[in-house]
Amino acid sequence: MADLSDIVIIGAGPAGLIAAEKLAEAGHGVAIYERMPSPARKFLMAGRGGLNLTHGEDLDRFLARYGPARSVLESTLRAFAPSDLVAWAEGLGEKTFVGSSGRIFPESFKASPLLRSWLARLAHLGVTLHTRHCWTGWDDDGSLVFLDPDGTPLHRKADSTLLALGGASWPRLGSDGGWAPLLRERDIAVTEFAAANSGVEIAWSRAFTEKSAGEPLKRIAVSIADTTRRGEAVITEQGLEGGVIYALSPFVRTAIAKHGHAEIGIDLRPDLDEAALARLLDRPQGSQSLSTYLRKAAKLAPPAIGLLREATNNALPRDPATLARLIKHVPLQVTAQRGLERAISTAGGIALGEVDTHFMLRKAPGVFVAGEMLDWEAPTGGYLLQACFATGVAAAKGIEAWLSKDLSGQDVRGPSYTARKMV
């Protein structure tokens, strides 16, 4: 295959790998540099509980999940939509299925078979992968500088560069946000990192955590201010985890920044209105314990009953209307969000105004960015991976356009790369 140009991609996560694939298919010479000993570590971690590739809901509803970033990401997500990601996975031999919640998974339910097929395809296309290479910026000549596995500086020329270094969550898997100072030195705005899709901390009593930590709260609704999400959560020693909590991360983060804490309410029976629930509770308790009565009359599971007791310091109201009101809104105070070291994803990153419509940095022509480096966030459910893939594809198209001609119509393809070690 003809080596039309030499492209360096830094970061071997989904955004970088899909960009490498698209560029190599177009005949470009592509080299990937990765700091960790192996590629796509966070991708593999995400697949341990089942690789949620994307979501099967209506595209307009899907796009709304990206909040304020929708205006920037919409055309990219339409150009490489969930159906395109499904077709890509199936092209690698990984058939998919839609779960009951609308989430889309490979039939193997794992990330490793898909990644193995993907890396084999990239190798066949001539993409080279260099692991244990840490990017440290640019030298005075504009060459990329890496530290190789021996810690020796490696200076690398490239006709175009894609940065796909991830955010700052789960840093032990490779994405530690260490790239931010390198871009800020070039006057590129990088918003401070914050945990997204993270659990919350609540000051439970010891008695409650000893009995309930690890227990699920199923089919609940959680609200903060005028925003409500439905789903499930898990009680932990520190507070709460789970999809319904993660979906409220931006609102919890904002409240904590403003007030030092966040007030959330849990509806333990979102399928019933307060009046209907009060009617169910307006029956004699008889000789039953209160827990048994709540389990039978209100259909509450033991963890939900424990939460009611915890929220009222074990002083549950007996009046049916008051008890129904509490079940519909259990007030809890969140003292903090869990840190970046355990957050599923990252808020913050390169300000969206710093890139053009092709995801090229306006202040660094020929340098493109993709994936979680950019300042966008989305809930779990396939939305995170979809945007990483889609921005990787869009950046690859942008690189092709850049290598063809610049804004003045001139050919900008440079010579083939040179690499030299500097002792």
Note the pLDDT of residue 417.
29
Q: What does each C-alpha distance from 165 to 72, 150, 423 come to in angstroms?
A: 20, 21, 26
What ranges make up the beta strands (E) of 141-226?
Answer: 144-147, 153-156, 160-163, 190-196, 200-201, 216-224
Please provide residue 16's backbone torsions phi and psi, each rounded to the nearest 5 degrees.
-70, -40
The answer to whether 137 and 147 have CB atoms below 8 angstroms apart is: no
Distance CA 95, CA 109 (A): 10
Strand partners, 221: 230, 267
Under the banding of pLDDT at 50, 70 and 90, the label for residue 342 is confident
Under the banding of pLDDT at 50, 70 and 90, the label for residue 415 is very low
The answer to whether 233 and 242 have CB atoms below 8 angstroms apart is: yes
Distance CA 10, CA 128 (A): 12
What percentage of the chain exceeds 70 in pLDDT?
95
Among the ranges given (2-11, 57-66, 173-182, 395-404), the one the predictor scored with the smallest mean pLDDT: 2-11
The answer to whether 332 and 200 have CB atoms below 8 angstroms apart is: no
Average pLDDT of the residues of the chain? 93
Distance CA 123, CA 128 (A): 7
The per-residue pLDDT for range 33-42, each reduced to its tens digit, is 999 999 999 9
> Which residues, including other chains, have CB under 8 Å from residue 314's CB and lie 6 or more apart?
none
pTM of the complete model: 0.90
Domains, the chain, ranges and CATH? 6-195+340-421 (3.50.50.60), 200-337 (2.40.30.10)
Give the Cβ contact number of residue 162 at 10 Å. Answer: 30
Nearest to 22 by CA among 14, 70, 409: 14
Average pLDDT score over residue span 156-161: 96
